[in-house]
Amino acid sequence: MSHTVVIPTIGRPSLRVTLEALLTALEDGAGPAPHEIIVVDDRPAPGAPLPLPPSAGPEIRVLRSGGRGPAAARNTGWRAATTEWVAFLDDDVVPEPKWPARLAADLAGLPPEAGGSQGRVTVPPPDGRAPTDWERNTAALADAEWITADMAYRRGVLAELGGFDERFRRAYREDADLALRAMDAGHGLVLGERRLTHPVRPAGFWASVRAQAGNADDVLMWRVHGPDWRRRAGEGPGLLRRHAATTAAGLLALAALPAAPRGRGGAAVALTGAGAWAGLTGRFAYERIRPGPRTPGEVVRMLVTSAAIPPAAVWHRLRGLAVHRGARAWGGPRAVLFDRDDTLIRDVPYNGDPARVEPMPGARRALDRLRRHGVRIGVVSNQSGIAKGHITAGDVRRVNARVEELLGRIDVWEFCPHDGGDGCACRKPRPGLIERAAERLGVAPSDCAVIGDIGGDIEAAAAAGARGILVPTGRTRRAEVARARETAPTLDAAVDLVLGGRRRR
């Protein structure tokens, strides 16, 4: 079975040697080599070169995903793959020497209805002592289901499901979400025989408090998969209710404290709240301290963080309820392709000067909204000035780079350099630009929405089988507005249509 290995990374200094060791192990391991290894650099901005093995050949390719989180990084990787299977690995794992051979065997033995295969993960315990709270949490990966520390999917399944949900911006829940969607769609997931080791990363004093940000992701899981998502994902019940009670007791004590000197029951309420808070916090701390090494440093860390975790968990839960209040299943248009001139930036005929780029009103806000919802963004633009000799392809790219400086990262750019009489397949209203952009994004044209300001944009969308939304400007003809199935007065309103999943004029 042909397969590609995808490894997202943010180039953490503590993992520089580990990433190089991982890549070396994949190259030197026994068995069929992967068709390609794609390392996805998810740092927000380019940094020092990633540590590739000295002998790295063309089979290792590095892509950038712009710091949008591991879900988006994995999507960048698999969309660039061309093989039947895509295997995802974390950047800090150590595969066994026979991992390539056992991966090939795992995949070759799968029936057509199997859409994914998980490897077996081992977390080594510490030598000569009980594990710390952080080490115990990491050790739970050994029993977790469908985690992308080592998880392979058929590329066709990833394309069908739209890949990982990019609303998960941290390494938490995005793997369980994809697995549940795959099983809901009828694709079987199986446990393979390949093995790797997942070391415990160093953790700072407040690591367990920062981890409470996952409570916001739990809200998205609940919105998308229903109240029983934990059971279906093999998760325990969690401690949020107890954290909420602890936080409420602490707030009650603080609220009643000013009234305590005046009597009227204020002191009793404050004492009751403080007692409840102390009892719940003490119980939580004891449960975390008891199985651990109980060194002075670990005990202090558990006492302090056990007081901080409950309000942090509640805060992130409330944040998740606000952010994901209207969340739907990962679907709808997976990509939005914009015309450039008079849609994203003001039209300057045959512009080759980046200094003359001026965004259209609301353009940055519209694009940022799509990014927050995990929607991919592309630009498809006719640039006949190249054929006419007014500008060069390099001029177009420099202007496009300036657009990204002002409006943020664009996932894919496609432009047509031909003139109207050249008979090409890419010049709008022909569908070529849209088809090429969709292919590069790893989605079908029918999964794209196209937003533009003239009839040619909408006709190109229809020819490609995409959804077209017209945002009229001063140069849009009345007949074009009349023919458009969907129009919006502004870019922001057009994004409302995309995110709302409705089709209206």
Q: Residues with catalytic annotation?
A: 339, 341
- Tell me if 114 sits within 8 A of 187, measured CB to CB: yes
β-strands 85-89, 150-154: how paired? Answer: antiparallel
Angle (CA) 182-183-185 rounded to 5° is: 65
- For residue 273, CA distances in Å to 263, 268, 312 come to 16, 9, 19
179-213 b/e (C-beta count within 10 Å ≥ 16 → b): bbbbeeeebebeebebbbebebeebeeeebbebbb
Cis peptide before 429 (omega within 30 of 0): yes
8 Å CB contact between 452 and 468: yes
* Residue owning tokens 């806000």: 365
235 Cβ contact list (under 8 Å, min separation 6): 176, 229
Q: How many CB atoms lie within 10 A of CB 169?
A: 18
Question: Residue 9 corresponds to which amino acid?
Answer: T
Q: Which has the closest alpha carbon to 7: 115, 87, 83?
A: 87
SS3 track for 381-398:
EECCHHHHCCCCHHHHHH
Nearest alpha carbon to residue 443 among 331, 359, 368? 331
Percentages of the chain per state (helix, strand, coil), in multiples of 5: 45, 15, 35
Whole-angstrom distance, CA of residue 37 vs CA of residue 41 = 13
